[in-house]
Chains A and B, each alone.
Chain A
Amino acid sequence: MTRLSNLDLAIAALLVVLLALSARRVYPGLARQLLIAAARTAIQLTLIGLVLKTLFAHVSLLWVSLLAVLMLAMAGYEVMARQHRRFCGGWGYGIGVVSMFISSFAIALFALVVVVGHDPWYQPQYAIPLLGMLLGNTMSSIALALDRLTQSAWEQRDMIEARLALGQSASEALSGIRQQVFRSGLIPIINAMAAAGVVSLPGMMTGQILAGAAPVEAVKYQIMIMFLITGGAGFGTLAAVHLAVRRLFDERERLRLDRLHR
């Protein structure tokens, strides 16, 4: 693979800076967000590059697990930060983390042990990128779904309470909203699968091809990853919405918007 120099990266970064400059006058807040996010990308990826280098040199289950837990903690924070009206207290953080843990971790473990079957199964070259892709996509889906759920409940509180007042259960009163919420959580991944290969060449496959892998082998990996991501994002969203709905109502099936940040 052709090596990239720092100058090459600087040229690419110029593009983001140009965008921020031209957006500055109309969307000042957005331009700032854009630059901060770009800076985070550069710093975080450089750091993880160094971490992975060390990790690959010392294959150890302890270090792999440690990094995995750290990634989960960060993903939980990201989910929370993307909520317009998140749950108060530990719930705002906990719902995301718990649902990402049960979906992403379980599926990554399953994929490593059963599907990939490398020895040892925690080989960091496989484990960390796989978990990273799963967590990243699950995180986006969960964040979208939770944001939509709390936002809709807030906006449509009168409708929900009108249905409760007519003797409907909490899940009946929320049925329409719930469908929309699942949709918004899963639409990105459905779109990604539908457009894969026709419109877009997914990132992992592109990376493997750039690194010199045979396209057909790269495609097989990509298909597996797509399905794993769909499973992770889907089950993660199911779990997160389930937990969030339980928190949104109490034992007397009252709508408890006081449990959300204003």
Chain B
Amino acid sequence: MFDVNGLRCRDRPALTFSLQAGELVCLSGPSGSGKTQLLRALADLDLSEGEVKLGGVSREALPAVQWRRRVAFLPAESRWWAASVGEHFAALDRQQLGCLGLDAEAGNWCIERLSSGEKQRLALLRLLAGRPEVLLLDEPTANLDAANIEKVETLIAQYLQTTAAACLWVSHDRQQRERLGARCLRMTADGGLLP
């Protein structure tokens, strides 16, 4: 469903892989191998060459804004521009808030008073609120405790199941990769993919 063919960012080697509908794929590799760069290139935030197709439609065929709504990138560190949580959402899904152990009134919370873990979970919900078809997650559980990591993993699995979206998940944690039971893409230090 999501096909990457000969994608090159800057002077990195060309990468080719694809994700199936509803599939979760883990991406790992030493730091500096270009995992974040790859996600950014897939979201068309950085210049890159090569073919990227979503459901057979290449990215050049879609306006950039639409492409990024459908192929959504979650940066490792979330950014917030308004004063309260709710202003960053068109509509906050109370059920999803509950799934991540967040208060139903979280929309009224002040950004300044959020913990890094709350920010990370809310950023994920903000991303899912756009109903993307491909999730590009850059270490989405790095700031969370074990209980919340599990909640996030469950929520994403549910999302993929109900929407048939695909997900590329950057994770450094071997146990997490085993828990997710997903296919693994491993990057080498020079930015290539191990077969």
A-to-B contact residues, CB < 8 Å? 158-159, 161-169, 176, 251-255
Q: Are A165 and B73 in contact (CB under 8 A)?
A: yes
Q: Are B45 and A254 in contact (CB under 8 A)?
A: yes
Bound together, the chains give a CA A159 to CA B80 distance in angstroms of: 7
Q: Give chain B residues whose Cβ lies under 8 Å from the Cβ of A176.
A: 81
Q: A158-B79, A162-B79 are in contact. Are A253 and B64 (CB under 8 A)?
A: yes
B contacts with A: majority SS:
loop
Bound together, the chains give a CA A165 to CA B43 distance in angstroms of: 7
Q: Which of B64, B66, B75 contacts A162 (CB 8 A)?
A: B75
Nearest to B77 among chain A residues (CB) is A158
Residue among B46, B47, B64, B130 with most chain A CB within 10 A: B64
* Chain B 140-177 per-residue mask, 1 if CB under 8 angstroms from chain A, else 0: 00000000000000000000000000000000000000
Bound together, the chains give a CA A254 to CA B63 distance in angstroms of: 12
B65 touches A (CB below 8 Å): yes
Bound together, the chains give a CA A254 to CA B66 distance in angstroms of: 13
Bound together, the chains give a CA A225 to CA B194 distance in angstroms of: 69
Q: A159-B81, A252-B44, A254-B45 are in contact. Are A168 and B65 (CB under 8 A)?
A: yes
Q: Give chain A residues whose Cβ lies under 8 Å from the Cβ of B64.
A: 251-254
B69 touches A (CB below 8 Å): yes
Bound together, the chains give a CA A114 to CA B47 distance in angstroms of: 50
B78 touches A (CB below 8 Å): yes
Residue among A164, A168, A255 with most chain B CB within 10 A: A164
B68 touches A (CB below 8 Å): yes
Q: Are B47 and A158 in contact (CB under 8 A)?
A: no
Which chain B residues in 30-86 approach chain A with CB under 8 Å?
43-47, 64-66, 68-69, 72-75, 77-81
Bound together, the chains give a CA A159 to CA B44 distance in angstroms of: 16
Q: Which of A158, A162, A167, A253 contacts B130 (CB 8 A)?
A: A167
Given contacts A167-B69, A252-B64, A253-B64, 9 further A-B contacts (CB under 8 A): A158-B77, A158-B79, A164-B68, A165-B43, A165-B45, A167-B65, A167-B72, A254-B45, A254-B64
Q: Give chain A residues whose Cβ lies under 8 Å from the Cβ of B47.
A: 254
Nearest to A258 among chain B residues (CB) is B47
Bound together, the chains give a CA A114 to CA B89 distance in angstroms of: 52
B127 touches A (CB below 8 Å): yes
Bound together, the chains give a CA A161 to CA B40 distance in angstroms of: 10
Bound together, the chains give a CA A165 to CA B77 distance in angstroms of: 13
Q: Are B81 and A163 in contact (CB under 8 A)?
A: yes
Nearest to B130 among chain A residues (CB) is A167
Nearest to B66 among chain A residues (CB) is A167
Q: How far is the CB of A176 from chain B (nearest CB, A)?
A: 6
| Interchain residue pairs A-B with the least CB separation, the first 3 | A167-B69, A162-B79, A252-B64
